[in-house]
Amino acid sequence: MLERAEMTVSDYLPSSERADVEEAPAGSVPKIAVVLPDPITARACLDVGEAAALAVEGTLSVVHIGADPASMLSSAEEIDIQFLRERYEGTAGERVAQVRSVFDEWLSNRRGTGPVSWRDCSGDIDQCLDLETRDADLVIVPRTGNLDARDVVHGLLFHSHKLCLLPAYRQQGDMPLLTHVAVGWKPDGKVERTIKAALPWLRAARQVTAICVDDDKGRSSENAAAEQFAALHVDVTTASLRSHPESVASALVGHAASIGATCIVAGAYRHGEFLEMIVGRVTRDLLTHAQVPLLLMH
């Protein structure tokens, strides 16, 4: 008699869509990088980064990344825009000093005891992101903020394809991060890659719920989600719901709130940059409406 092979969501996908993210070797220490492009959002990013590091006993590094027109290789128009910022936000050096002041205050009152490194990388944002986050398993970045913050989020999600943790808009100090993690799940390669990248934090969570929005009548997505999490040795509760008349993002956010989720994990941006500007909606709605931190990966 043939035995049934254990299956994951990859078995339900075409080979071209199967995930290429490998699970981290056993015993490896996750590396968390906190990127601070904006002094206003810096404290929330630092608090969430600390929580993410403590949950998995990971290392924590902090870096300011911002545009410096004196070091940029860009168009004259872009450089002029950067110089115009100085009237309202100060020079590149003054912006670094503002972020460093927030970091120093946080450092004197932080919960953790492990070492935290500080670096400044001012210049071309994409080059700085590649240099400073290349080895990171998780990057903490704000959802919004000044021009640097928006460029950082865009670069990390679309170009670096890093797992990103984005605090809530109104992040309050020691709010729980991994008490109850909601996962927006569907049979898609991007989702599986996100889950594998987020595995240390999913395993550290007290409770995980996989939410399948607009599943078919046979609940094949819900069944496949249970298969995947079982294969990854993560205890999970599954749920199926319909989005109509709401959007998919609204349904996911609403159900996550109803079960007391403290974080939402989801694949970010189904399409490339150009199409997302025209037809993108789910990720933008999540970034706008979710009241808890988001773990996203493109």
Rounded to whole angstroms, the Cα distance separating 80 from 136 reads: 32
Within 13 Å, how many C-alpha atoms sit on residue 262's CB side?
17
pTM of the prediction? Answer: 0.84
Q: What is the pLDDT of residue 62?
A: 97
Average pLDDT over residues 19-47: 82
- DSSP tally for the chain: helices H, then strands E: 11, 10
* pLDDT > 60? residue 7: no
Q: What is the pLDDT of residue 206?
A: 96
Angle between helices 248-258 and 282-289 in degrees, nearest 10: 40
Average pLDDT over residues 207-214: 94
**Which helix (H) or strand (E) is 184 found in, with range?**
strand 181-184
Share of the chain above pLDDT 90, in %: 50
Rounded to whole angstroms, the Cα distance separating 236 from 71 reads: 48
Within 13 Å, how many C-alpha atoms sit on residue 230's CB side?
12
Rounded to whole angstroms, the Cα distance separating 282 from 276 reads: 10
**pLDDT tens-digit series, residues 78-116:** 777 777 787 878 888 999 999 999 999 999 988 878 899
Per-residue burial over 233-255, b if 16 or more Cβ lie within 10 Å, else e, is ebebebbbeebeeeebbbbbbeb
Whose structure tokens read 């115009």? 84
Q: What is the pLDDT of residue 2?
A: 28
Q: What is the DSSP string of 219-235?
A: -HHHHHHHHHHHHTT--
User: Which residues, in sequence order, are bridge partners of residue 117?
Assistant: 61
150 Cβ contact list (under 8 Å, min separation 6): 144
